[in-house]
């Protein structure tokens, strides 16, 4: 059951990041003038999808607390690196972001780090 808590944390974390990026892309870039910035932020905060992204962060926190009852932090926390991997892959697939050699090397290092941390 503990692993389900960890992977639920990762799922809700990834969902939140992707949904925020999607909606911000839809609404546009941050304006220069302060009044326009405030209006922009209010528009974002009232967006139902943005609200669901914040709710997913809250759910991720609840699942993380549950995971902490099952595992040592030093064991569980490296799994959170999986969110970097999943977000990178999905950002390439969903948003057309560029996958560079540096990002691939970084992914390899993250995966290696997870394996070393969890296995040793």
pLDDT in tens, 25-81: 998 888 889 989 999 999 999 999 999 999 999 999 999 999 999 999 988 888 898
* Burial zone of 80 (CB within 10 Å; 0-12 exposed, 13-18 middle, 19+ buried): middle
Task: Average the pLDDT over each of 10-14, 26-30, 46-50, 99-103 and give the range with the smallest value.
Answer: 26-30
CB-based contact 8:69 (threshold 8 Å):
no
pLDDT of residue 114: 82
| CA–CA distance, 40 with 31 (Å, rounded to integer) | 7
| pLDDT exceeds cutoff 80 at 102 | yes
Give the CA dihedral 77, 80, 81, 87, nearest 10 degrees. -170
């Amino acid at each position: 059951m503990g692993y389900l808590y960890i992977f639920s944390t990762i799922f809700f974390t990834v969902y939140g990041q992707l949904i925020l990026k999607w909606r911000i892309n839809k609404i546009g870039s941050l304006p220069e003038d302060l009044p326009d910035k405030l209006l922009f932020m209010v528009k974002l905060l009232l967006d139902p999808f943005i609200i669901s992204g914040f709710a997913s962060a809250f759910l991720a926190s609840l699942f993380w607390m549950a995971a902490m009852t099952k595992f040592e932090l030093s064991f569980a926390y490296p799994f959170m690196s999986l969110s970097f991997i999943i977000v990178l892959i999905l950002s390439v697939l969903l948003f057309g972001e560029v996958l560079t050699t540096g990002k691939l090397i970084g992914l390899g290092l993250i995966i290696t780090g997870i394996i070393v941390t969890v296995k040793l």
